Structure 1
Amino acid sequence: MKLGGYTVKLLSPFPPLAHRLELEVMGTVVTGDYVVRRSYGGDVLFRVEAVLGGTAILKGADYRLLADAPVEDLTKVSNPEELSVTQSLRSKVKASNQRMSAELMDHSFLNELEYRPEETHSYFDLPGKVLHLDGDANYMRKSMQLYNQMKVPAQGLHVSETQMADLLYHLLPQVKPDIVVITGHDGLLKTRERSELYSISSYKNSQNFVNAVHIAREYDKNRDNLVVVAGACQSYYEALLQAGANFASSPGRILIHALDPVYVATKASYTSIRECVNLPDIIHGTISGIDGVGGIETMGRYRVGLPKPIEVKKVNPNPYYA
């Protein structure tokens, strides 16, 4: 039946209550709203990207998950920060950021001890440069904020997952990055059986990520020259590694946090070119852990130089030139 422009379904033998519930769920959910799925126990906070008929297209607010759900299954969240799942996740993110900052401070101190000459000149550092392609504009902003906080030189672009391979083809020769991050949203299709986990057609965006990784490897086949971090929630981990990624998600087909690819890239950026990135350290430093992110032995992209550039205040004239 129609009521105030909304389609109302009778959900119980008590019509007045049913009307109110249906209007609360269906009539107020619009693009940009934060919602949870009742059928999943409200385990993940989503942002509504679009409403098509009776189906809402959802993107995880903290996880790189792309999903859809019947509108009647959604409950609007007016204050996302008060959700227990959000608060718990924020605590993990804060702890991870603090750990990463402490590691970088220790790293800088050790380098200063190793490279400090007897004279007054000091060393300067050159962390690896990151090119970050992201299918989500909001995550892109958060990622760039974290790169800036960690003093990682990074260039980020928001681009649809379907266009990443083409854009990367043009950007790589221009940017010449040390590290490429290819991420956005992904997920297993709900209709797929467990036996179909190893079919790339079972994933929403893994094929797009694989295509982009192939482009990166056509540009530079050496996995130590160009470090590739690829994938999102539930991505086809094995296919991404086979395509040429150094680090990928998701070994356990779980949800990964929006900033996990940034942590991996930062670790590679600040690991010396003389050392392998510590795999257990880099994986356990992520929020999702070993079921969320994995990879292969990879040399770091950090370099040290001497002396540190200083302001030149006076130059003696060259007597051989007029």
Structure 2
Amino acid sequence: MKQGDLVVRKSYGGDVLFRIAAFAGRQAVLRGMDYRLLADSPYEDLQTVRNPDELGVSRQARDHADESLRRMNEERKRQAERGGFISAIDDRRQPFFELPGKVLHLDGDANYLKKSMQVYGQLRVPAEGIHCHESQMSQVLLRMLPQFHPDIVVITGHDGVLKQREDLQQLSSYKNSLNFVQAVNIARDYERNRDSLVIIAGACQSHFEALLQAGANFASSPGRIMIHALDPVYVAIRASFTPFRDTINITDVIAHTISGRQGVGGIETMGRYRVGVPNMKVAKSDQNVNVV
């Protein structure tokens, strides 16, 4: 086995597809391919996977991600219909222009960041993505928050409960929850108003209560379960497209994440979406220019 190989853990029944990130003695450091889980395992417990499509759990995770994206697209269409808008897709026909909430997305996994940015792009969410190790996120935010002035910050990557740690209320029992908490503290110090800056934080099995106490609006994981790679993205998009005068429907947004209410929770928060008039693209196309 070598770094970069796809593997599953035999002792867990091959429940999660991982990529080998590094080696530490006789242990392999593993990063989940579909779930934001950081784990380690002895070599002898690993089985190489050559075709991920043969794994039912991996196919199921991708199917759930496709379904989540479909729901997001449908929600955008319903939003346009509720507002009496002509089209939320072709902005050249709309009499208004849109100002969705701007996202700053920090991710400890480069592959997940790439997937996340693709989804933001498909749904036309203005977003900046930064790949950095979870331990560096607080320092990165110190530099980047004043530069980007985001409406929404996503702080995510990989996490997990350390083996043989029974006290789930202690941050020392988690692989990266302390790093996420420190990053949330920086973001909340930058903007104290939870409606002016929406913070979404955490990964698999993260310390949900600590993240909320630090100032996150939404966090994982109330049930200390695995969350899908796109769950933080889904919440961010809903925050971006919920009108600024409306409260984000917590029950609905969490129910439509892939992991559900055991994976993601949050507090009442106002949306960050605005519209304005006129749409200059429409205005310019309607003008008749006479050349004398």
TM-score, normalised to structure 1, is 0.85
1:140 matched to 2:113? The reply is: yes
Q: Aligned equivalents of 2:226 and 2:80: distance in 1?
A: 33
Alignment map for 1:1-322 (pairs within 5 Å): 29-113=1-85, 122-193=95-166, 196-310=167-281, 311=284
Amino acid corresponding to residue 33 of structure 1 in structure 2? D
Instruction: Please give the secondary structure, in 2, of the residue aligned with 1:275.
Output: coil
Q: Which has the larger radius of gyration?
A: 1
Does structure 2 conserve the Cα–Cα contact (< 8 Å) formed by 1:253 and 1:291?
yes
Amino acid corresponding to residue 273 of structure 2 in structure 1? Y
Does structure 2 conserve the Cα–Cα contact (< 8 Å) formed by 1:121 and 1:307?
no
**Unaligned 5+ runs, structure 1:** 1-28, 115-119, 317-322
Query: Share of identical aligned residues, percent?
Result: 61
Question: Which one has more relative contact order, counting CA pairs under 8 Å at least 6 apart?
Answer: 2
Instruction: Please give the secondary structure, in 2, of the residue aligned with 1:254.
Output: coil
When the two chains are superposed, the root-mean-square deviation of aligned CA atoms in Å is 1.7
Runs of 4+ in 1 over 6 A off after TM superposition: 312-316
1:252–1:308 CA distance, 2 compared to 1 (3 A): same
Amino acid corresponding to residue 84 of structure 2 in structure 1? E
Deviations 1:252-271 (A, max 9, x none): 00000000000000000000
Aligned residue pairs, count = 282
Does structure 2 conserve the Cα–Cα contact (< 8 Å) formed by 1:49 and 1:57?
yes
Q: Aligned equivalents of 1:309 and 1:113: distance in 2?
A: 16
Instruction: Please give the secondary structure, in 2, of the residue aligned with 1:68.
Output: strand
Q: Aligned equivalents of 2:70 and 2:11: distance in 1?
A: 35
Deviations 1:269-308 (A, max 9, x none): 0000010000011101100000000000000000010111
* TM-fit CA distance, 1:314: 8.1
Q: Aligned equivalents of 2:152 and 2:268: distance in 1?
A: 15
TM-score, normalised to structure 2, is 0.93
**Unaligned 5+ runs, structure 2:** 87-92
* TM-fit CA distance, 1:54: 1.3
Instruction: Please give the secondary structure, in 2, of the residue aligned with 1:290.
Output: helix
Instruction: Please give the secondary structure, in 2, of the residue aligned with 1:125.
Output: strand
